Amino acid sequence: MTGRVGLVAAVVAVLALAALPMVAEKFYVQLVTKILIMAIFAMSLDLLIGYTGLVSFGHAAFYGIAGYALALLSPQYEAASVWTSLPLAIGAAALAALVIGLFVLRTSGIYFIMVTLAFAQMAYFVFHDTKLAGGSDGIYIYVRPVAEIFGWKPFDLENFGHLYYVVLALAVGVFVLLRVVLASLFGRVIAGIRVNEHRMRSLGYPTFRYKLAAFVFAGALAGLAGWLSAVQFGVVNPDFLAWHLSGSVMMMVILGGMGTLVGPAIGAAAMMLAELWLQGLTKHWQLLMGGFIVLVALLLPRGLLGLLTTRGGPTDSTRG
């Protein structure tokens, strides 16, 4: 993000998104809310796949755990508080990422992909098979969390417009936060780990700890997306942790262009809009979606953003 033009472009984009609720119907505002939540989810995974080189196929686990945390913290017919449930949900996701990370980061390559998938599946079964959280039917959140502090309500999440703005603000916030973190020393170390972990270790960096930190941070951000999703839909069920979701968000990252942050956000929008459009075309839209994904894998190594830019970001010249 260099230069004033880049900044102006970003501000214009955000302003355009901010104007949406004033021109569009409720259905579409809710749709874009959903897209923005997915964008947060995708950006969190990009931190792992695009910047640290960790291909996690189980990212939905952290998304789902945070969603369930909100559901479990919400009293049955009353509202939870945003200020307690959000940090707790993110904390739960981060804790899960820490525990799982301690296991999966012992492996790499193909193994890493498979074990992240398998651990997410294990978490899925905890929620699906046990009485802990409503089993396969999930839990309903009948009242959305309230944001009251000392009697003052800055926003009401039951109002779909307020929810949209909260999500938009968080999405922009996550983007900025990630940019800052990635520009720091931490960001450069994990970039180095992605390129050549042995070299980083021989330079004296405790690579396991850095990878774990990235894994936990990404898990926490995925948790934020999960909490928001649970708020928007009012229901959490085991499919929040399904491997299909892990696969979907991975596609969004790669489709958009990994290692760029903006790419995955675009990928999220592209995939969800494509899904909506294709669903309207034919009952068998997944056929077209699948074919599209195969083509992207074969022909677009740097995703959609790679189409638009001449030379990419951190992925440039580091992939053979």
Which residues, numbered 263-302, are part of the site for another protein (CB under 8 A)?
266, 269, 273, 284-287, 289-298, 301
Of 149 and 294, the one with the shorter C-beta distance to another protein is 294
Residues 238-267 that bind another protein (CB under 8 A): 239-240, 242-244, 247, 250-251, 254, 262, 266
Smallest gap from residue 148 Cβ to another protein (A): 21
Q: Is 213 exposed, middle or buried (0-12, 13-18, 19+ CB in 10 A)?
A: middle
Site for another protein in 144-183 (CB under 8 A): none
Q: Which residues of 184-193 are buried (b: 16+ CB within 10 A; e: fewer)?
A: eeebebbbbb
Stretch that binds another protein, among 80-88, 106-114, 146-154, 168-176 (CB under 8 A): 106-114
Residues 21-50, one symbol each (x = binds another protein by CB under 8 A, - = not), give --xxxxxxxxxx----------------x-
To the nearest whole angstrom, how small is the minimum distance from the Cβ of residue 236 to another protein?
Answer: 10
Q: CB of residue 5 vs another protein: minimum separation in angstroms?
A: 5
Distance CA 221, CA 43 (A): 9
CB of 81 to another protein, least distance (A): 20
149 vs 276, beta carbon nearer another protein: 276
Footprint on residues 120-139 left by another protein (CB under 8 A)? 121-122, 125-126, 128-131, 135-138
Select from 86, 106, 159, 196 the one that contacts another protein (CB under 8 A). Answer: 106
- Contacting residue, 156, 177, 192, 309, with another protein by CB under 8 A: 309
- Is residue 303 within 8 A of residue 256, CB to CB? The reply is yes
Sole binder of another protein in the list 107, 159, 184, 196 (CB under 8 A): 107
Among 95, 208, 234, 274, binds another protein (CB under 8 A): 234
Residue 220 Cβ vs another protein, minimum distance, rounded to whole Å:
22
Asked if 192 and 200 touch (Cβ cutoff 8 Å), the reply is: yes
Q: In whole angstroms, give the CA distance from residue 255 to residue 273.
A: 13
Min dist. Cβ of residue 217 to another protein (A): 20
* Residue closer to another protein (CB basis): 84 or 315: 315
Tell me whether residue 216 or residue 302 sits nearer to another protein (CB atom).
Answer: 302
If you write DSSP's letter for every residue of 118-162 in order, what string do you get?
Answer: HHHHHHHHHHHHSGGGTGGG-EE--SPPB--BTTB-S--TTSHHH
How many CB atoms are located within 10 Å of the residue 258 CB?
Answer: 32
Round to whole Å and give the CA distance between 43 and 49: 10
Name the phi and psi angles at 160, rounded to 5.
-65, -25
How many helices (DSSP H) and strands (DSSP E) are in the chain? 13, 2
For 249-316, the three-class secondary structure string (H helix, E strand, C coil) is HHHHHHHHCCCCCHHHHHHHHHHHHHHHHHHHHCCCHHHHHHHHHHHHHHHCCCHHHHHHCCCCCCCC
| Residue 198 binds another protein, judged by CB under 8 A | no
Enumerate residues 6+ apart whose C-beta is below 8 A from 95. none
Quote the CA–CA distance of 235 and 70 in Å, as a whole number. 10
Assess contact for 169 and 183: CB atoms under 8 A.
no
Q: Give the nearest distance from C-beta 54 to another protein in angstroms.
A: 10
C-beta closer to another protein: residue 83 or 142? 142
- In the complex, the smallest distance separating the C-beta of residue 187 from another protein, rounded to whole angstroms, is 17
Stretch that binds another protein, among 86-94, 202-210, 213-221, 236-244 (CB under 8 A): 236-244
Q: Which of the residues 39 through 98 are near another protein (CB under 8 A)?
A: 49, 55, 57, 76
